[in-house]
């Protein structure tokens, strides 16, 4: 399968979708705090509602991407829904209406990760997938950095409302990029993990054709997949609330510069993520998945502790650089590890959705718990709580998660059939 002609199209897709796929993200916390005058606990709850909606949608989203041959249309529709919902927020000051909009956009956003991974796998094939995912993440982070820089500049000139209009422009550009993908070049069997290369003899002996996915039970009986899901959930519990909390601290110190300083935090981290993701994509097949992932997990508790040492804006921005390492590693390796563990099953995307559900649970609880800790014990206590959870994730991954790259010894989701 020739991968070359598709790389540039996928590059632009990931660049422009970067500012769309997560909605307003941490900017919502600043907008609600500074413009709508909400308290930190209410902000945490409404952001958690969006996260919970995304959780509910994860597995159905993955199952839809596995089954549909209209992957480009699904991505375009999700982009329009997320952006439309976000544009309504300035008109909806009440808690209930904001919560409903967050739920809708959260559910729509669940479609992007499996759709992008599936289209990438269907275009370039499994052998080039690790490098392609690294490149996806590099362009995604570059898009985030550019969008955040533009948002910071626009917010400084026009106020926090400017981020809404920037998101609209990026949505239009992302839909153009989606339209330029050659739909006929996507191998939809390969896109769901039926690559014809993994466990071919076993599948033939079991009477399974290339177009016959395994039962959903494979994702419930694959022990490494369950361990990875637990680690991912703990990682996102520890990570999700850190940037919004930093944004709130910055906004409380300087109301006028809060959004601009948040943009500086995002740009700083994203600029680090670009080379980290590229390095991971280039070396993960050579070095293995586990040692690289351990480095990403190690960064998170360190970052949580460092946030407590100073409230100076440039210290907070400097510590945020470490997020570029942890998030860069996680983003580049997550779909690769899932592909390793589900190769040959035809359940790649629904498995991504299942683990993303666990991630979403962790992330949704993170913002709520952190907001409550801030209200009752302060920001430092919240950061230390998140750092402790990150330490648990690091220990679990180090002790229980096997290496999953091709050729490593681990329990595959599609075992060799019994001979009778």
pLDDT band at 167 (very low <50, low <70, confident <90, very high): confident
Phi, psi of 24 (to 5 degrees): -80, -20
Query: What is the end-to-end Cα distance of the chain in Å, rounded?
Result: 36
Number of domains in the chain: 1
173 domain-assigned: yes
**Considering the domain boundaries, does residue 42 fall inside one?**
yes
**Residue ranges making up the domain that contains 247:** 8-181+214-400
Q: Which pTM does this prediction carry?
A: 0.80
101 assigned to some structural domain: yes
Inform me whether the pLDDT recorded for 246 exceeds 70: yes
Query: Is 175 domain-assigned?
Result: yes
> Residue 108 domain-assigned?
yes
For residue 35, tell me if it sits in a domain: yes
Is 186 a domain residue? Answer: no
Q: What's the confidence (pLDDT) of residue 257?
A: 62
The Cα-based distances of 41 to 38, 48, 64, 371 in angstroms read 8, 11, 35, 5
Q: What's the mean per-residue pLDDT of the chain?
A: 82
Residue at 159 is within a domain: yes
CB contact at 8 A, 31 and 24: yes
Contact 327, 25 (CB under 8 A): no
pLDDT of 3: 46
pLDDT of 408 reads 66
Structure tokens at 353: 């959705």
Q: For residue range 22-74, what is the model confidence (pLDDT) as tens digits?
A: 666 666 777 777 776 777 777 778 777 887 888 889 889 999 999 899 999 99
- Please state, in angstroms and rounded to a whole number, the distance separating the CA atoms of residues 295 and 121: 26
- With cut-offs at 50, 70 and 90, classify the pLDDT of residue 412: low
Residues with Cβ within 8 Å of residue 310, at least 6 apart in sequence: 316
8-23 pLDDT, tens digit per residue, is: 889 999 999 887 776 6
CATH assignment at residue 160: 1.20.1250.20
């Amino acid at each position: 399968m020739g991968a070359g002609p598709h790389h540039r199209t996928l590059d632009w897709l990931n660049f422009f979708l970067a500012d769309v796929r997560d909605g307003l993200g941490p900017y919502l916390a600043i907008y609600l705090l500074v413009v709508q005058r909400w308290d930190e606990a209410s902000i945490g709850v409404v952001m958690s509602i969006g996260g919970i909606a995304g959780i509910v949608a994860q597995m159905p989203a993955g199952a839809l991407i596995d089954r549909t041959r209209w992957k480009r249309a699904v991505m375009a529709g999700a982009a329009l829904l997320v952006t439309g919902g976000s544009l309504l927020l300035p008109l909806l000051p009440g808690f209930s209406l904001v919560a409903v909009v967050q739920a809708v956009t959260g559910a729509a956003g669940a479609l992007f990760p499996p759709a992008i991974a599936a289209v990438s796998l269907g275009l370039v094939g499994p052998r080039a997938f690790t490098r392609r995912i690294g490149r996806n993440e590099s362009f995604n982070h570059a898009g985030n950095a550019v969008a955040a820089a533009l948002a910071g500049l626009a917010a400084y000139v026009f106020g926090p409302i400017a981020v809404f209009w920037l998101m609209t422009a990026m949505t239009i550009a992302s839909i153009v990029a989606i339209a330029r993908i050659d739909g006929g070049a996507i191998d939809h069997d390969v896109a769901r993990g039926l690559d014809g290369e993994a466990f071919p003899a076993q599948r033939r002996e079991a009477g399974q054709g290339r177009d016959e996915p395994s039962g959903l039970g494979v994702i419930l009986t694959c022990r490494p997949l369950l361990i990875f899901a637990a680690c991912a959930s703990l990682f996102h519990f520890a990570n999700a609330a850190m940037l919004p909390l930093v944004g709130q601290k910055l906004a409380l110190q300087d109301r006028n510069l809060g959004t601009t300083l948040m943009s500086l935090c995002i740009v700083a981290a994203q600029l680090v993520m670009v080379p980290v993701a590229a390095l991971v994509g280039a070396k993960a097949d050579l070095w293995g998945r586990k040692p690289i992932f351990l480095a990403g997990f190690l960064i998170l508790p360190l970052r949580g502790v460092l946030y407590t040492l100073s409230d100076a804006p440039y210290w907070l921005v400097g510590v945020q650089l470490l997020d570029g390492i942890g998030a860069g590693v996680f983003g580049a390796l997550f779909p690769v590890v899932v592909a390793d563990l589900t190769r040959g099953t035809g359940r790649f995307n629904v498995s991504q959705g299942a683990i993303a559900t666990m991630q979403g649970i962790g992330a949704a609880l993170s913002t709520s718990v952190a907001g409550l800790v801030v209200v009752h014990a302060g920001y430092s206590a919240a950061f230390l709580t998140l750092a402790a959870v990150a330490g648990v994730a690091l220990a679990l991954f180090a002790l229980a998660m096997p290496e999953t790259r091709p050729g490593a010894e681990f329990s595959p989701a599609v075992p060799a059939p019994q001979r009778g």
